[in-house]
Amino acid sequence: MRKSEENKTQIENLTQELCRLIEKIPKINTKIETLNYVRSMLHEVSPFKSHPVDFVAWELSENIESNDYNPNHVATSEMKLLITSIEEDGYTMPIVSSPEENLIRIVDGYHRRQSLLKSTKIYQSTFGWLPVTYIREWHRGRSDRMASTIRHNRARGAHDIDLMSNIVREMTEMGHSTEWIMKHMGMDKDEILRLKQFTGLAALFAGKDFSMHE
């Protein structure tokens, strides 16, 4: 028990010293990058490290780009409310993202990023940085990112049928079965059929028994 108490005291002292050193960093960008590094190291020893939200990093908004498939749209009035919410309450939800070679790709949170670009108050409060989490490494391929985006959207609300149809088209053309789409995007068989018909994909399943085991 004494050893445990000694370790706790040592960690507390080291943490206090670390905070003092970070506080002395004069440049805001360097300070943010240092905090990201410290948090990432703590994340590596966390019992919750399999959950992306365990590590929220701050990234420059200019390094974050949207995806080209998001079927979620926000009405003007709702966008204004989102901006007001962030201005008044701050960012309470990070942007879900996937790191690429030279940028960070948005999986979910496009409109939270737009809020920063539209509001000087938000931009100044974060110094142009945005809070992000990174999806699990083995889910960063395009198909998995698309499926993750759909899951986030469907769990939250409506989405654009044209863009949803295009996603089903792309998933099908990439070789994913109906069963895969059902499992990873939370759709039922009839919904997938309607979306295929809507977007003119009849040729993709002509002559086939359209079933869960396609």
Residue 109 has pLDDT above 80, yes or no: yes
Q: Looking at the 3D structure of the chain, how many domains does it have?
A: 3
pLDDT for res 138? 79
User: How much is the average pLDDT of 85-91?
Assistant: 95
d(CA 55, CA 19): 18
Q: Are 71 and 136 in the same domain?
A: yes
Per DSSP, the three-state class of 106 is strand
> Which structural domain, as residue segments, surrounds residue 210?
160-214
pLDDT single digits (tens) 14-42: 999 999 999 999 999 999 999 999 999 99
| Half-sphere exposure for 132 (CA within 13 Å, toward CB) | 27
User: How much is the average pLDDT of 103-117?
Assistant: 92
Q: Give, rounded to a whole angstrom, the gap between the first and last alpha carbons of the chain.
A: 60
Minimal CA–CA distance to 204: which of 213, 212, 193? 193
- Relative to beta strand 104-108, strand 64-65 is parallel
pTM higher than 0.85: no
Per DSSP, the three-state class of 131 is strand
Residue 154 in any domain: the answer is no
Residue 151 in any domain: the answer is no
pLDDT single digits (tens) 146-178: 777 777 666 555 556 666 777 777 778 778 788
* CATH code assigned at 90: 3.90.1530.10
